[in-house]
Amino acid sequence: MNPRSIVILGGTGDQGLGLALRFARAGRPVVIGSRKLERAVEAAEKVREAVPGADVVGLENVDATPRGPIVIVSVPFEHTASTVKSIKSALAEGQIVVSMAVPLAAAIGDGAVRTVGIWQGSCAELVAALLPPGVEVVSAFQNVSAHRLQHLAESVDCDVVVSGGSEPRKLVMGLCSLVPGLRAVDGGPLSNARIVEQLTALMIGLNVRYKVREGTGIRFTGLPER
Amino acid sequence: MNPRSIVILGGTGDQGLGLALRFARAGRPVVIGSRKLERAVEAAEKVREAVPGADVVGLENVDATPRGPIVIVSVPFEHTASTVKSIKSALAEGQIVVSMAVPLAAAIGDGAVRTVGIWQGSCAELVAALLPPGVEVVSAFQNVSAHRLQHLAESVDCDVVVSGGSEPRKLVMGLCSLVPGLRAVDGGPLSNARIVEQLTALMIGLNVRYKVREGTGIRFTGLPER
C-alpha cells in the first residue's frame, strides 16, 4: 500500500473518472478499480492521455482495494451494495471507504430527480452496515458534477459536504483541496449523508429546468474563511 | 384585499419578522398575523420603527389571512397544521399559501440538526393536504437566516428554492427579488420541498460546527444569469 495513493472503484464511470483525472493532475498516485480488468486498464490509459506523466494503474476492484488508505466507491447506487460486499475481504482495518452514490429512483426505473428510501437512512449508512469493524465510512462528492470534474481546464466551483467519524472525515476533507474550486465543508456525522444525497436529486432537477448541461454545483455562504 | 399586500402569519417570530421587515422596506404593504392580536400589533410596531413609513398592520391570523393574495405561514413546524386548520375558512380560491416551516426534530424534544419524517413527504405537502381546493401551496424561504433577514443594512446572500405548481411558484419567486441578496431558484414540483426542508437541518449543523451565529446560506453555482 502506498499511503499517497487514492483508490477509485468505478473509476471507469463519469464521476469516478473525473476524480481520477483531478487527483492524478494534482500529482497523487491513482488506482482505478473496475469489475472488469480491461475496463480499468482502459480508464487508466484515458487518465494518462489527459494528464501526461500521471501515476495511474487499472485493476480489478478486489486487487485495487488494498492499494491505498482511502477507497472511493464511485459505482451507480444499484451496484454499490454488491461492490462493497465483493471487496469486503480485501479491506484492512484502518482503511476508509468513501460513499458517493445517490439512491436516485432511476435505480428502480423511475427518474433521476427523485430518490428511493434507504432503510439505513442513506447509501453511506448502507455501506457502513456492510463493512467489517475497523473500516470507517465517509460520505462525500455526491454533488460534484462529473462533467466539470472531467473538464480539467476549469475549476469546479462546488462545496463538498463531508460526513462521517471525525478523524476519517478530516482525511477525506483533505482530498478536496487537491481539486481547484472544490471546498470541503464539515458535514458532521455520517447520518447527514441522507440530506446530501437527496440534494443531488434536486440539483439534477435544476440541471433539467435551467438546461445546465455541465451541471450545477452548491456553495454554502457565511462560513468563516479558513 | 390589496393585491400588493403580503400576509405573514407568525410574523412575530424571528424569520417571519425578518421577512416583514424586508418586504416593508421594499415598499410593499405587509399584514402580520398572530394567534394573539396584541403580539401582531407589537410586531407591526417593530417594523414601523425599523422602516419609517412602512405600511404594516398587525391582526389575528384569521383576520390577516384574507388581506393579500399570498399568505406566508411562518410559524414553528409544530404549530403549522393547527394554524393552517384555523385559517382554512378564511382562505379564498386563488390565494397562495407559502410553507416555510421545517420539521426539525426539536418539535419532539430532540435536536434542530435532525428532522422527523412527515407522512405526506414534507411540511409543505402536509399543508397542501389540509387546504381547500383552489388554494395552492408553494414551498419557499426555509434556508434563509432569520438573523440576516432582520439585519437590514446587509444583503442576505442566499438562494431561495421555490417549489410548487408552476403559476403560483412564479408569483412567489417574484417576492424574492424584493430582498437584496436573495435569488429565487425554480425548485420544480412541491414534492421537492422535502429536500429543501432537510437542508435546513444540515445548515443548522453547519452553523454550530463553524460557529456562524448569523446563519449560513446556500447558493447554487452554474445556473444561467437571468
Collect all residues from B whose CB is shorter than 8 A from any CB in A. Answer: 113-114, 145, 148, 157-158, 161, 185-188, 191-192, 194-196, 198-199, 201-203, 205-206, 209-212, 214-224
Please state the rounded mean pLDDT for residues A28-57: 97
Give the pLDDT of residue A70.
98
The alpha carbon of residue B213 is apart from the nearest alpha carbon of chain A, in Å, by 10
Candidate from B203, B206, B222 with C-beta closest to A157: B222
Candidate from B192, B201, B218 with C-beta closest to A220: B218
Asked if A222's CB is within 8 angstroms of B157's CB, the reply is yes
Give the pLDDT of residue B83.
98
Give the pLDDT of residue A175.
98
Q: Which chain B residues are Cβ-neighbours of A191 within 8 angstroms?
A: 114
**Any idea how long chain A is?**
226
Q: What is the rounded distance in angstroms from the CA atom of residue A27 to the CA atom of residue A30?
A: 9
Note the pLDDT tens digit of each residue in A182-203.
999 999 999 999 999 999 999 9
Asked if A218's CB is within 8 angstroms of B113's CB, the reply is no
Give the pLDDT of residue B11.
86
- What's the burial of A76, exposed, middle or buried (CB within 10 Å: 0-12/13-18/19+)? middle
User: Is residue A226's pLDDT more than 90?
Assistant: no
Asked if B218's CB is within 8 angstroms of A216's CB, the reply is no
Residue of B143, B183, B220 for testing the chain A interface, max A β-carbons within 10 Å: B220
DSSP classification of residue A115: B
Asked if B202's CB is within 8 angstroms of A195's CB, the reply is yes
Q: What is the rounded distance in angstroms from the CA atom of residue B225 to the CA atom of residue A217?
A: 15
Candidate from B201, B206, B223 with C-beta closest to A212: B223
For the whole model, what pTM was predicted?
A: 0.96
Angle at B193 between CA B43 and CA B143, to 5 degrees: 45
Asked if B206's CB is within 8 angstroms of A223's CB, the reply is yes
Query: CA of B220: which chain A residue's CA is closest?
Result: A218
Q: Which chain B residues are Cβ-neighbours of A157 within 8 angstroms?
A: 221-222
Question: DSSP assignment of chain B, as one string?
Answer: --TT-EEEETTTSHHHHHHHHHHHHTT--EEEEESSHHHHHHHHHHHHHHSTT--EEEEEHHHHGGGSSEEEE-S-HHHHHHHHHHHGGG--TT-EEEE----BGGGGTS-TTSB---TTSSHHHHHHHHSPTT-EEEE--TTS-HHHHH-TTS---EEEEEEESHHHHHHHHHHHTTSTTEEEEE--SGGGHHHHHHHHHHHHHHHHHTT-TT--EEEEESPPP-
Give the pLDDT of residue B226.
65
Candidate from B148, B195, B205 with C-beta closest to A199: B195
Note the pLDDT tens digit of each residue in A116-129.
999 999 999 999 99
Q: Which chain B residues are Cβ-neighbours of A210 within 8 angstroms?
A: 186, 223-224
DSSP classification of residue A192: G
Asked if B186's CB is within 8 angstroms of A202's CB, the reply is no
Query: CA of A114: which chain B residue's CA is closest?
Result: B192
Closest to A90 in 3D by CA, of A7, A18, A11, A162: A7
Query: CA of A190: which chain B residue's CA is closest?
Result: B202
* Residue A209 one-letter amino acid: R
Q: Which chain A residues are Cβ-neighbours of B221 within 8 angstroms?
A: 157-158, 216-219
Residues in chain B, pLDDT under 70:
226
Q: What is the rounded distance in angstroms from the CA atom of residue A210 to the CA atom of residue B226?
A: 10
Note the pLDDT tens digit of each residue in A63-122.
999 999 999 999 999 999 999 999 999 999 999 999 999 999 999 999 999 999 999 999
Q: Which chain B residues are Cβ-neighbours of A212 within 8 angstroms?
A: 222-224
Q: What is the rounded distance in angstroms from the CA atom of residue A138 to the CA atom of residue A171?
A: 10
Asked if B212's CB is within 8 angstroms of A206's CB, the reply is no
Candidate from B187, B194, B219 with C-beta closest to A221: B219
| Residue ranges in A67-213 assigned as alpha helix (H) | 77-87, 123-130, 146-150, 166-176, 193-209
Q: What is the rounded distance in angstroms from the CA atom of residue B193 to the CA atom of residue A151?
A: 32
CA B86, distance to chain mean position in Å, is 18
On average, the pLDDT of chain A sits at: 97
Nine cell digits for residue A96: 476508509
Cβ neighbors of B116 (< 8 A, separation 6 or more) are B103, B104, B105, B107, B108, B110
Q: Which chain B residues are Cβ-neighbours of A148 within 8 angstroms?
A: 222
Collect all residues from A whose CB is shorter than 8 A from any CB in B. Answer: 113-114, 145, 148, 157-158, 161, 185-188, 191-192, 194-196, 198-199, 201-203, 205-206, 209-212, 214-224
